[in-house]
Structure 1
């Protein structure tokens, strides 16, 4: 006879700042752990699966224990920077395609190394803000987007002022009607709002990723 038992638990992780919901199903002595939290791994991982974590005695004297760990902050920072630079290259390429005098059929886009650190630091800050606003307090998206937009404009203005002191600012919005000091402009607000929504999706994806750490322990 096959017996199936399902247990669902909901906890909140203070270390990683998100809620956790999980389901454990036992069937014929075999346990499966299903993690249903959007900010955790979305796969079915076997628990106590006989023979998987144990090596054959005639092949090795060790056994391997596998544990799942979230992506470290520095790796998410790196991905955010690459994503921001990619967005900037695509935007400038398409912008020049329609607005440059001779067009831009080669779709040449451009960015700078400074942009990498600007996007990475701003996106990481917004990620932490997203966790606190949404996963801790349930703030809806239509309230979060204006907050993100204010952070983004403040970040762009501050970065632009610093880069101007170094003679390294790569943008100038002085020709736009609703610009401030040539460093920020309201004309780009709709595009920034779209990127703010994508930022939440990207944050969820990166926070859900897990990598496996394997350690070998000596068999008794």
Structure 2
């Protein structure tokens, strides 16, 4: 019997993984901010239900850019491109959610390009190295073949 090759993890599953990662990062960042600003040792983090899709979608875009740029562009240049992508996504998503009255942050630019720039560069680097590269290598093993069912007992009536 031939063994099937492991299949790559699907796009929707990777989008979900990226969303969970973004959600966790946002909660941890909120906890760190609370500690930094108020010395709150409880490290309470919070987020919005929008965080998953808001982080997952640009990660998928970065995932499609990564293989194309990897051989042609050095790491600092890729990080700069990722930062531009992440910043543009944040502006577009913030404007859209603000128009709907659902934006979890202040989209009017309380944090400008200079403040968010380093975070976007670092975020792009971490996304590429810690999340996108491993996620693109993930494979699902084929299902194990089911063992054959044991034969059913045959009952026969005998004349005694």
TM range (shorter): 0.7 to 0.9
2:153 maps to which residue? none
1:142 maps to which residue? 76
CA contact (8 A) 2:87 2:120 kept: no
CA distance 1:183–1:151, shift in 2 (3 Å): farther
Compute the RMSD of aligned alpha carbons.
Answer: 2.0
1:172 maps to which residue? 106
Q: Aligned runs of 1:68-217 on 2, under 5 Å?
A: 68-100=6-38, 103-134=39-70, 137-172=71-106, 181-182=108-109, 184-185=111-112, 186-201=114-129, 202-214=131-143
Structure 1 gaps of 5+ residues are 1-62, 174-180
CA contact (8 A) 2:23 2:52 kept: yes
More helix, by proportion: 2
* TM-score with structure 1 setting the length: 0.60
Matches of 1:191 and 1:113 in 2, distance apart? 21
* TM-score with structure 2 setting the length: 0.81
2:149 maps to which residue? none
More strand, by proportion: 1
Cα distance, 1:192 vs. partner? Answer: 2.1
Matched positions, count: 144
CA distance 1:84–1:183, shift in 2 (3 Å): farther
Cα distance, 1:183 vs. partner? Answer: 6.2
Cα distance, 1:214 vs. partner? Answer: 3.3
Structure 2 gaps of 5+ residues are 146-160
Matches of 2:110 and 2:23 in 1, distance apart? 18
